Amino acid sequence: MSVRRHTTARLTTATTALVLGSLLGVAAAPPAAAANPTPTSWEAKALGLASAQGTAQGEGIKVAVLDSGVMTNHVALHGKVTTGPDFLKDGLQPGDPRWGGHGTAMASDVLKVAPKASILSVRVIDDKKDHGGDIRQGVSPTSQGIDYAVDHGADVISMSLGGEMFGDSVDEDEVDALARAAQKGIPVIASAGNEGDMFNDASYPAGYPGVIAVAATQQNGSRADFSTVRTYNAVAAPGVAIMSAKNTGGYEPVDGTSPAAALTSGVVALMLSHNDKLTPAQVRTLLTKTAHHPAGGRNALVGYGPIDAAAAVQGSSKPPADGTGPVKYTGKEHLATPDGTPKTQHPPLETDLVTIGLGAAGVGLLMVIGAVLITRAGRRAAARG
């Protein structure tokens, strides 16, 4: 059973906002970005955004933002957002503090890169429950959101969200939904996670095969301290002090692999508007081949390195061949485990040992959970300070 998805954005302090604001006062936005009012800072230069937008601006591309909802009346988003269903079904509505904060920010980051793209907003997470979520039963809201995006014309699926798993390492609903997205030729982007300076838990959907997982970099191009270190990381993008839209109006700087993934989704929208025939495999290959590769080659810190939007968009006109395709299984079918027990039948359990083991495990689990909650609560309090 998996935990419910949670947001991965981290708001910076007021001091950072003031410093960044002074920088924005003297830095001119690239002319090509004038169509979108969201302020840009260092990420524009790091991505090569001016050159990329000189080639394409996301025309005709629909980006599905699976998140906490998007405030459609924000000046950065007005007229560019279609609102889909609320699969979280928790009774919250626009205007509630726990509705649309994270999603509004991520949608603005997508449009900052691809100002002529459109957004399909699908609500699958709650803004405030950032502790890892509650034990969930039933169909995953994330899987429902993926299917809705697939069925309603999404060209890119952007998921700046994630959570670790309890028990099984995958959620079958989400794996199946991602497979349907792949069959429709829709690239899926997800944030790598913000646990790099704590427990470094794996995060899903970033960890699923076929998903382009994005790590976060700081201004010098190196990995941001919080960015989760995992072999599933494909590429990296700016993720520190990214000016993003607020659900209450205006803008604020955001840290996390969340904005890194949203910016990357915008780059993919530029690529597809330049060549709408690109397959998910070609998108991944172009992003990884044109990225600024780290010394020593691909690593678990930043994957193939910080993306180069200009090079990726330019390369989209002549993409590498897509060699992916279904492969027929030619091995033998084994209907029993090595000890001869059919897959549909379990061997007898040693109930006494199981009872003792579960009791000991329960005590240990409570101790671990208590320590984790205390540590994470303190960390959240420090972040708010």
Query: Catalytic positions, please?
Result: 67, 102, 258
What are the angstrom distances between the C-alpha of 232 and each of 65, 174, 218, 284, 385?
21, 17, 20, 13, 32
62 three-class SS: strand
Are 187 and 149 in contact by the 8 Å Cβ rule? The answer is no
User: Does the bond joining 205 to the residue before it have cis omega, within 30 degrees of 0?
Assistant: yes
C-alpha span between 96 and 282 (Å, rounded): 40
Q: What are phi and psi of 236, to 5 degrees?
A: -135, 160
Return the beta strands (E) in the chain as ranges: 6-7, 10-11, 62-67, 81-86, 118-123, 156-159, 161-162, 188-191, 212-217, 233-238, 242-245, 251-255
C-alpha span between 199 and 194 (Å, rounded): 10
C-alpha span between 344 and 32 (Å, rounded): 60
Q: What is the C-alpha end-to-end distance of the chain, expressed in Å?
A: 34
What are the angstrom distances between the C-alpha of 293 and each of 181, 221, 231?
28, 11, 15
Within 10 Å of residue 240's Cβ, how many Cβ atoms?
24
Are 293 and 304 in contact by the 8 Å Cβ rule? The answer is yes
Q: How many helices (H) and strands (E) would you count in the chain?
A: 10, 12
94 three-class SS: coil
Is the C-alpha dihedral spanning 34, 54, 235, 150 positive or negative? positive
